[in-house]
A = this chain, B = another copy of it.
Amino acid sequence: MTDRREMRELVTPARAREAIGNFEAPAGTETVRVERASGRVLAEPIDAGIDVPGFDRASMDGYAVRARETAGAGEMDPIELRVVDRLAAGERPETAVEAGTAVEIATGAVLPEGADAVVMIERCEARGETVAVERAVAPGANVMSAGSDVAAGDRALSAGTRLAPRTIGLLAAIGRETVPVRTAPTVGILPTGDELVAPGSELSPAEGEIYDVNGTTLANAVRETGGEPLRYGILPDDESEMRETLSRAAAECDLLLTAGSTSAGSGDVLYRLVEANGELTIHGVSIKPGKPTIVGRYDGTPLVGLPGYPVSALSIFRLLVGPTLREWAGTDRDAATVTGRLARTERYDEGRHRAVPVGLVRDGSDDLLVYPVDRGSGATTSLAYADGVVEMAADTRRLDAGETVTVELFSTSDRPPELLAVGERDPGFLAAIDGIDRTRYRTLGSTGGQRWLADGIADVAVVTGENSFESTAETLGCWTREWGLLLADGIDVDGVAALADGDYRFVNRSRGSGLQEAFEAVIDGSDDPEGIREKIDGYGIGTHGIESAARRIERGSADVGLGLATTADRLGLGFQGLGVQPVSVFAAADRVEKPAVGRLADRLDDERLFEGLTGYAVD
């Protein structure tokens, strides 16, 4: 790490946004069919080439007449006219209306020569060959004159109009089949990193491989702004390969978006390549997350280098790149925002502009609550648990609970969840929420669930162990689950003493989880707790997921793991029971009326819910 370089002077987010905004907009036009033009932006004004309607048109069913002949007509003294023709919509009038005559006419039909008004059918009495008109009409009555809807030469739609069903209808009315629209800006998507593997391919965790997230996320985010993403695969941290791909993308795109490889470590070749083959305008932005953002050009094409962590990359895209892309595509003045009440005070002292990832939940009054989601920018799940970001200026040190804040949503497609559940991981609870749309289930352990419920954020909490829940919360359901040791094929361990004495590679659960606490209690009840803890090989290896230990046994990297009877059954592992543990679900008092909470209560009342789950029982 001898050639390690520091970043240059950090610039403000506003300065970075301005630099990106100053890139020249691509100026392309293409012709598309009106039928599929929704969401596209007109490149030119459209003027009507025809009158709509193109003829004087009956706007009522009735009789076409000469208005002056109806003067004085009334119910008591109708005026009788001879009916000389019948006209339906889409028919060419063959007979003129002359003195003493009328033509029966349907809505939409062409007003025949000689007529200048229509008497509506309700004011006429048909008498065979004649009609008795019972009301006088003025010239033009019930007639839509030619061009009165759209007149030839009128501006039908302005340039810059984002086409929608109604405006597309107007284009149809003037007979347009195709329209010129602005070309979508093309954006090259270039995630970098030797450790990245495309989703769907085989993954080798032992070699430190992870699935690439940014390529997929950014492609979809670009498409949402109205841009056209072009994928160039995953760039390895290899200088010559990177140079070749960047050159190709620069020739084909209006903007290049890389992700990762932008910090100043020795493995980060991107910024040096940009310096050598273009210009590096900005290297580092004073924002958290997102500091290692770069802005420049490669072979003359604008380039923004986003940080590698998915939440950072999407936040920076949202704040700095999105506005310019939407302007180029002409799709929107602003991206989607919502306002809500902050549920928890958020403090920050570093004096750096911050984009705080936040989640949303509706409270009992259907108002939006906003809560900070801090799992660190490296966590992919911040993507799943955060609905958007709240910006905190560099000189803002706290946002108080109860304050109204504006949330910049990651996407216009995103919707807040209908149900927010926090607490212990439990397959029984998973089964319960299977039938409830848009549930967010954050697994932060029993104490996490209790805290989030007490803080007025979570709708429901999932708690294991004896019920020590002191609040006004309502119990929606409780059951027990059997837990114990998951066993690899051929392994037989009958308790914690045998586990300590044998030569087994064990996998524990993470500290604070319900299973780990139950396991501790069993060890504490044994003859030699300290000795057992000392002797279990892997006692310190805490895994997070309810299935993580089982997956390790499946992969052959462990022999015994802590887990549930139902997991052993589902994944075909051996099992040695060590106990049963109660699980309870509580709802916050002010949320019991929420429709999704009601659905959950119904699900939990259903006795068949746990039928497929080995070791589950409802009292």
The answer to whether residues A104 and B1 also contact, given A153-B547, A154-B545, A223-B38 and a CB cut-off of 8 A, is yes
Instruction: Find out whether the CB atom of A151 lies under 8 angstroms from the CB atom of B543.
Output: yes
Instruction: Find out whether the CB atom of A89 lies under 8 angstroms from the CB atom of B155.
Output: no
A35 at the interface (CB under 8 A from B): yes
Among B167, B263, B410, the residue within 8 A (CB) of A383 is B167
**Roughly how many angstroms separate A150 CA and B205 CA in the complex, as a whole number?**
14
| Chain B residues positioned under 8 Å from A1 (CB to CB) | 61, 104, 121, 126
A332 at the interface (CB under 8 A from B): yes
State how many angstroms separate the Cβ of A426 from the closest Cβ of chain B: 10
A546 at the interface (CB under 8 A from B): yes
Instruction: Find out whether the CB atom of B57 lies under 8 angstroms from the CB atom of A208.
Output: yes
Instruction: Find out whether the CB atom of A443 lies under 8 angstroms from the CB atom of B216.
Output: no
| Chain B residues positioned under 8 Å from A4 (CB to CB) | 121
Among B147, B164, B437, the residue within 8 A (CB) of A545 is B147
Instruction: Find out whether the CB atom of B434 lies under 8 angstroms from the CB atom of A548.
Output: no
State how many angstroms separate the Cβ of A445 from the closest Cβ of chain B: 12
- Interface core residue of A126, A163, A438 (most chain B CB under 10 Å): A438
Among B159, B163, B314, the residue within 8 A (CB) of A413 is B163
| Chain B residues positioned under 8 Å from A47 (CB to CB) | 430
| Chain B binder among A23-31, A68-76, A273-281, A373-381 | A373-381
The answer to whether residues A330 and B437 also contact, given A149-B381, A193-B89 and a CB cut-off of 8 A, is yes
| Chain B residues positioned under 8 Å from A477 (CB to CB) | none
A220 at the interface (CB under 8 A from B): yes
**Roughly how many angstroms separate A91 CA and B206 CA in the complex, as a whole number?**
8
**Roughly how many angstroms separate A182 CA and B172 CA in the complex, as a whole number?**
31
Instruction: Find out whether the CB atom of A381 lies under 8 angstroms from the CB atom of B152.
Output: no
Chain B minimum-CB-distance residue to A150: B381
State how many angstroms separate the Cβ of A100 from the closest Cβ of chain B: 21
**Roughly how many angstroms separate A511 CA and B169 CA in the complex, as a whole number?**
28
Annotate A314-356 by CB proximity to B: 1 below 8 A, 0 otherwise: 1000000000000000101100000000000000000000000
| Chain B binder among A48-56, A482-490, A602-610 | A48-56
| Chain B residues positioned under 8 Å from A567 (CB to CB) | 153
| Chain B residues positioned under 8 Å from A110 (CB to CB) | 205-208
| Chain B residues positioned under 8 Å from A108 (CB to CB) | 193, 195, 208, 210, 308
| Chain B binder among A14-22, A173-181, A492-500 | A173-181
Among B35, B150, B220, B433, the residue within 8 A (CB) of A216 is B35
Instruction: Find out whether the CB atom of B144 lies under 8 angstroms from the CB atom of A378.
Output: yes
Instruction: Find out whether the CB atom of A194 lies under 8 angstroms from the CB atom of B154.
Output: no
Among B152, B159, B441, B545, the residue within 8 A (CB) of A551 is B152
**Roughly how many angstroms separate A50 CA and B436 CA in the complex, as a whole number?**
23
A427 at the interface (CB under 8 A from B): yes
Instruction: Find out whether the CB atom of A220 lies under 8 angstroms from the CB atom of B380.
Output: no
A59 at the interface (CB under 8 A from B): yes
A237 at the interface (CB under 8 A from B): yes
State how many angstroms separate the Cβ of A304 from the closest Cβ of chain B: 16
A161 at the interface (CB under 8 A from B): yes
A168 at the interface (CB under 8 A from B): yes
Instruction: Find out whether the CB atom of A545 lies under 8 angstroms from the CB atom of B48.
Output: yes
State how many angstroms separate the Cβ of A229 from the closest Cβ of chain B: 9
Annotate A182-213 by CB proximity to B: 1 below 8 A, 0 otherwise: 00000000000111100111011111111111
Chain B minimum-CB-distance residue to A89: B195
- Interface core residue of A38, A237, A332 (most chain B CB under 10 Å): A38
A538 at the interface (CB under 8 A from B): no
Instruction: Find out whether the CB atom of A267 lies under 8 angstroms from the CB atom of B543.
Output: no
Instruction: Find out whether the CB atom of A165 lies under 8 angstroms from the CB atom of B92.
Output: no
A396 at the interface (CB under 8 A from B): no
The answer to whether residues A384 and B157 also contact, given A203-B175, A310-B169 and a CB cut-off of 8 A, is yes
Instruction: Find out whether the CB atom of B380 lies under 8 angstroms from the CB atom of A205.
Output: no
| Chain B residues positioned under 8 Å from A2 (CB to CB) | 126
Question: Using a CB–CB distance below 8 Å, which chain A residues touch chain B?
Answer: 1-2, 4, 34-35, 38-39, 45, 47-48, 50-55, 57, 59, 61, 87-92, 104, 106-110, 121, 126, 144-178, 193-196, 199-201, 203-221, 223-224, 237, 263, 265, 267, 308, 310, 314, 330, 332-333, 375-376, 378-381, 383-384, 386, 410-415, 417-418, 425, 427, 430, 433-441, 443, 510, 542-548, 550-551, 567
Known pairs A1-B126, A149-B375. 14 more at Cβ < 8 A? A35-B219, A45-B430, A51-B544, A53-B210, A54-B210, A90-B207, A92-B204, A109-B208, A150-B381, A151-B443, A162-B414, A162-B415, A178-B200, A333-B415
